[in-house]
A and B are shown apart, each in its own frame.
Chain A
């Protein structure tokens, strides 16, 4: 067992014990959709950062969604709820009293679905930190890494299609043209993929489970590689699988950003009424794929350049 896993296990154990002994007077309640690695890493960072910011460990409570649903009792006396993941956000959207909710570790469309299900609007009492990055940032990365690229190939699915109008506008202002295809209810996506790869300099993948999943990824990556079109993806798993690079936020970065907002809320500052973009990110590069495509890229340098462009600290 790695040291990191052991650490996670201990934190997990500590959180469970805290949960068991939880009663009145708790101030931060974390409701997590799952206990797999990404959620645990976000929780661990959130916990550590809050503790470092002076929140007493006994004032941080971790619940699973079923635990919270079984007893959404105001006796938690939460000052702030942090909903990690889509399920937690949907559950808390259903009833969180007057306690403000910060949803994190979820993409924008999941948050909007949670709002829509309960006829809510984003406000300082129900807000989010999005996991997916602004299109502007993603386009800037492509421009930095592949300055020769002119045409972006995009394969739309039912979820990602919602971003189509925004991408069309922003790609045009960033100097890219788009080569688009959608599912259109077709039984398979490969004719569309062929169409998109024809004449595209970059295959720009936007998360959509009907387009990008473990069943489709082999065919997609082999096809894009055969066409010598680099794929820019949205998670490091795709880079490991064979995409050229990805722009993504790690669970630790999510935890850190959430902790900062929660601490401000505990000090009396309302949560931001507008959902927040991630304020930090990583750029992963598959150096073997880059070499095979005759490219030399460094993820760390790209990240720093991108942060500098955005004047991030």
Chain B
């Protein structure tokens, strides 16, 4: 990886040094052809015409929120829950339910690349850590199923992270953060290039002592490189590569089955994108990416800790008694990779119709002796064909009809269709209604897990044994939405009411060992949520989110934590105020109703509140700018996060950012 980066840097420097031919202005400047740039796929649908509810978090919001990672930002999106625990690799975020310790029912994209973890049961936690917050231009959150456009993982929603264009991050920039709870973050960025190609290299580190009661010491180290090339005939080529490593602590003092130990999750990726505008009404795009991930998690377990009956049986096999040298390494170590190639063709067919269609091939490989009792690769190939027709049926009505056909080499084929209509009732008022059907095929672990403890050829126990007969779980979504834009009052409103009927819900059966996974009950998530934005006076903005989420009612559901996977009622209120002297104040309050903690069981049901305050002062000297900010997270009482034993205590930290 390092060598690749070096050679790229050399190419970059050579490109930057190329000479420019100086020409004088002539009539040719008025008559020469130009490559088409803003062709059809680059002109996005306005929010009131998208086939679903979308929340956009822009760069300003991200900075002023005081959040240190994307998972923490998503707390401020209607219907979302998030955790700051690194216990299962990285902080989790989920929409309409933190059903278990891994969030695998939504899709996360970083610059179009799917970053869910094939190794971690499809969890999006590690992927949310892919890039430094400072490199993010905006995050588009599609609330609601979106498999018709984004494939299997977009069962309940999509988080689309878009990084800044390299032409916007030229020069040097750096920031440091330090404060309570061991908060030590540092970030450095360098951008360079010319009009034909621009480049960015960002290195950053995020570390803290984690939640009180956890074996903290969480550290994320990242580097991300992005380059954008333009050709005079209108091609745009982008190359990205990066790496991140998450070191975190796991386990509990005094727990012999899970003593304190360190884990490392590491991920590398490379991605190339190509875009060509064939005309203002037609363009082509292709993308290729390769990613690999590795997880190290092991600790020694003395066989003297086994029940005495097991020890006696072992002694008979060994011909001697078990002693302190008999150590078994408990492990969750393994690796995974993915390769993705996609093509997309977008065109306008007449003045009322826009079509996007394409295909994608994705191959995932997972291998772990510890989890599958074999060092063989478990390979899953996905072949996807997708299409969406956007039809302006009348001047005030836009209909989106789309579908994705997906063939998995493991679980077969599924079709995810969607139909959505947006009706502009009056200027600034839009109603939306539609239905969709989506699937999530089981992950490799859910389908093939075989976690057995074998010591010196002797089977000590079986922890998890997948039955292998899992079918994809599905969701049928019906929704109604309203978007209101009332600029004269400085108000905008986004309302979504929905019913998400889940069938064949994949659940871990953990009442007795070995654990397994099965398609369980059908149940519905239904409710409503809204976001109200209001700019009442100069420099001020209020953002109020409220959600009512009702998960199932069947008795089989309520006996486990599923019915409480999301709080019935949750609200967040954010107040931004910029004063004339430049002082920037953010006050946010979150009120979460009773819900189970993502990493804990039915008995962990509880509610919590959290209030954050951030004060920022802009710095400026000459052409240079920056900011110094003080953030206090959770001004109130500690609350339990992820596990009843983990507490989020009040923490304050200072951030200094300098732009050159």
Binding site for B on A (CB under 8 A): 33, 36-38, 85-86, 105-107, 109-110, 113, 131-132, 159-160, 187-191, 193-194, 207-210, 212-219, 221-223, 225-226, 234-235, 237-238, 240-242, 248, 251, 286, 288-289, 291-292, 294
Contacts and interface: CB of A to CB of B under 8 A. Distances in A.
B25 A214 contact: no
B60 interface: no
A107 B27 contact: yes
Interface stretch (B38-46, B123-131, B467-475, B640-648): B38-46
A210 B21 CA distance: 9
B190 interface: no
A107 B26 contact: yes
B280 A190 contact: no
A225 B38 contact: yes
A241 B27 contact: no
Contacts of B194: 187-188
A190 B25 contact: no
B175 to A, nearest CB: 19
Contacts of A132: 30
A43 to B, nearest CB: 13
Interface residues of B, number: 42
B655 to A, nearest CB: 22
Nearest to B235: A218
Contacts of A212: 29
Contacts of B196: 215
A217 B27 contact: no
B25 A159 contact: yes
Interface of B: 16, 20, 22-27, 29-40, 42-44, 46, 137, 165, 167-168, 170-171, 193-196, 198, 228, 230, 232-234, 236, 280
A303 to B, nearest CB: 17
B204 to A, nearest CB: 22
Contacts of B280: 240, 242, 286, 288
B26 A237 contact: no
Nearest to B164: A226
Contacts of A188: 170, 193-195
Contact of B27 (A85, A214, A226, A240): A85
Contacts, number: 146
Given A218-B230, A219-B230, A106 B27 contact: yes
Contacts of A288: 38, 40, 43, 280
Nearest to B171: A191
Contact of B26 (A86, A191, A215, A241): A86
Given A187-B194, A191-B171, A241-B36, A113 B30 contact: no
A218 B236 contact: yes
Contacts of A215: 195-196, 230, 232
Contact of B30 (A37, A210, A234): A234
Given A38-B27, A107-B29, 8 more contacts: A160-B25, A209-B23, A218-B35, A218-B234, A225-B38, A237-B32, A237-B34, A292-B38
A292 B46 contact: yes
Ranked nearest first, the 7 interchain pairs of A and B with the lowest CB-CB distance are: A242-B38, A159-B25, A38-B31, A221-B37, A214-B232, A241-B34, A218-B230
Contacts of B234: 218
B390 to A, nearest CB: 13
A159 B504 CA distance: 68
B22 A217 contact: no
Contact of A219 (B22, B34, B167): B167
A240 B30 contact: no
A188 B22 CA distance: 14
A215 B38 CA distance: 15
A223 B29 CA distance: 21
B32 A110 contact: no
22 contacts: A36-B31, A106-B27, A107-B26, A109-B24, A131-B30, A188-B170, A190-B168, A190-B170, A190-B198, A194-B168, A207-B29, A210-B22, A214-B32, A214-B35, A215-B195, A215-B230, A222-B165, A234-B30, A237-B31, A241-B36, A286-B38, A288-B43
Given A242-B38, A286-B280, A289-B38, A223 B27 contact: no
Contacts of A242: 36-39, 42, 280
Given A107-B25, A187-B16, A207 B30 contact: yes
Given A215-B196, A288-B40, A223 B16 contact: no
A191 B170 contact: yes
A303 B290 CA distance: 52
A250 to B, nearest CB: 10
A193 to B, nearest CB: 8
Nearest to A243: B38
Contacts of A160: 25
Contacts of A36: 31
A106 B27 CA distance: 5
A237 B167 contact: no
B37 A235 contact: no
Contact of A110 (B25, B35, B40): B25
Contact of B38 (A38, A221, A294): A221
Contacts of A193: 167
A251 B170 contact: no
Contacts of B37: 217-218, 221-222, 241-242
A223 B26 contact: no
A124 B264 CA distance: 82
Given A191-B171, A240-B34, A294 B46 contact: yes
A295 to B, nearest CB: 12
Which among A37, A188, A212, A291 has the highest number of chain B CB atoms within 10 Å?
A188
A248 B38 contact: no
B548 to A, nearest CB: 32
A110 B27 contact: yes
A109 B25 contact: yes
A222 B234 CA distance: 12
Which among B26, B170, B196, B232 has the highest number of chain A CB atoms within 10 Å?
B26
A69 to B, nearest CB: 18
Contacts of A37: 31
A203 to B, nearest CB: 13
Nearest to A226: B165
A241 B35 contact: yes
Contacts of B36: 240-242
Contacts of A109: 24-25
A131 B37 CA distance: 25
B267 to A, nearest CB: 28
Nearest to A86: B26
Which among A109, A238, A242 has the highest number of chain B CB atoms within 10 Å?
A242
A210 B280 CA distance: 25
Nearest to B45: A292
A190 B32 CA distance: 23
Contact of A105 (B22, B23, B27, B232): B27
Nearest to B26: A86
A294 B480 CA distance: 24
B358 to A, nearest CB: 21
Contact of A217 (B26, B34, B168): B34
A5 to B, nearest CB: 15
A213 B20 CA distance: 12
